[in-house]
A and B are shown apart, each in its own frame.
Chain A
């Protein structure tokens, strides 16, 4: 295999802003806080940043701080900029930054995702007659039936997974409980009180088979990474994390309701495309930081990445020992979005970087390879990060 182009890129810096449920700080304020920390973490100054990449940029159903706002606030001088929703999931912003650096369009790209959902995010439903007007056709055949949330759409997949493979609520609960246990060590996490299986099973239902604890917790916060050219690695004061491979594929229909297989989603394709670009195998992965916007999504990622066979995600996570920090696949060691907070994919990336640096709150011993996956439905992308060039 010729060396994949993404190996030209490293993550030289990473940081987060304050994270919380109701901070009542502006998204731009949080983004600036995380940006300045990340730039310093990378051993750089504002003047060194010559690229910005963000998901999803301004507007759209997910809201977001635009790159232009940050650009103007910190007065970068940019050679390259990007931000948009139609990409390989939330991590598409990272994928594009990696490509820009590898192509020589920029040397140090600041990549960010900021959410301000804890203080009252964009109105998603009940807003009036405009619902669906600007959405892709697929939504126009869902929203009239009173299902406006990804909770409803993804619940349909979880239900089918249970039907075909015998997956249980208790198995989904193992993912939620693992996240909560890990969150207890994360000073930025939203929910840190211990959770029992009875707590999990007893909480109110949202969209069967999902109860409240299967759904991630909205919050405010900004996550920033600096993607730099590999030749900067020796100068990065806190170490460089290497991009070994990235997964960007979407081979099924780009649809929440018409995807060919109701027991997986686009992570099937992005995961496959990532493994096609590396000699590393699932067995080489020391920790997995996998999107748990809903508990079942993390299970779908575990299967898609080949940590177990298709349909075997339930038994794999059952009881939680295998996904615990001392298990064979430590999962979402920062608490995930279920307890750490809904940082919309970037919390997993941040944790993957911290694990490889050896500075995570719940640190995995000898962590050399981290798999990071973000997204659900037809939005999906992943990264294989390594401590050394592999």
Chain B
């Protein structure tokens, strides 16, 4: 990807706009219910648990565990150069929240289920795209 970041086709809905921009300060933010305190993803207009509308983005630690992944070998979108790793990461705050992401900072064949990962952000036009890299062990 020598010509800069790939075309990410971000087309966020009203409630999700923050997800793609809130990382400007290096923090991952997830929607949280102000009443029942559950985390919600993808973000929506109402809490699916208590139906509260007291919802706001809240910073999380940005660490999690790879729940599963695939190594993609096909060029589905020009500008995404295979092979690359796509993973579902379970956030430490709530493992029922899974973040779809690319795993960066390691060889694709090093990616494993159970691997501990941490967020980083790719500046991509107006967006700060959450990506995850392995947490150095030891």
Contact = CB atoms under 8 A, between A and B. Distances in A.
Contacts of B74: 149, 151, 206-207
A140 B98 contact: no
A74 interface: no
A46 to B, nearest CB: 42
A322 interface: no
A208 B87 CA distance: 12
Interface string A133-166: 1000110111111111101100111011001000
Contact of B71 (A129, A208, A262): A208
Contacts, number: 114
Contact of A132 (B6, B11, B70): B11
A50 interface: no
Interface string B1-35: 00000101111110110011000000000000000
B76 A148 contact: yes
A257 B97 CA distance: 10
Contacts of A130: 11
B77 A148 contact: yes
Contact of B70 (A131, A152, A258, A260): A152
A145 B13 contact: no
Q: Indicate the size class of the contact surface on chain A.
A: 35 or more
Interface string B79-111: 010001011100000001011111000000000
B70 A126 contact: no
Contacts of B51: none
A348 B101 CA distance: 34
A272 B84 CA distance: 36
Interface in B42-93: 42-44, 67-74, 76-78, 80, 84, 86-88
Given A145-B100, A145-B102, A152-B70, A140 B10 contact: yes
A143 B113 contact: no
A365 interface: no
B37 interface: no
B68 A262 contact: yes
B100 A142 contact: yes
Given A159-B70, A208-B70, A260-B96, A140 B8 contact: no
Given A132-B9, A137-B42, A145-B100, A207 B72 contact: yes
A145 B86 contact: yes
A30 B78 CA distance: 33
A179 B82 CA distance: 29
Contacts of A281: none
Contacts of A146: 6, 8, 72, 76-77, 80, 84, 86, 102
Given A146-B6, A156-B88, A140 B102 contact: no
Nearest to B80: A146
B100 A131 contact: no
B129 interface: yes
25 contacts: A124-B76, A132-B9, A137-B16, A137-B42, A137-B43, A143-B9, A145-B86, A145-B102, A146-B6, A146-B72, A146-B80, A147-B70, A148-B76, A149-B76, A151-B74, A152-B72, A159-B113, A163-B113, A204-B73, A206-B73, A207-B72, A207-B74, A208-B73, A257-B98, A258-B98
Interface of B: 6, 8-13, 15-16, 19-20, 41-44, 67-74, 76-78, 80, 84, 86-88, 96, 98-102, 113, 129
Interface of A: 124-126, 129-133, 137-138, 140-149, 151-152, 155-157, 159-160, 163, 204-210, 257-258, 260, 262
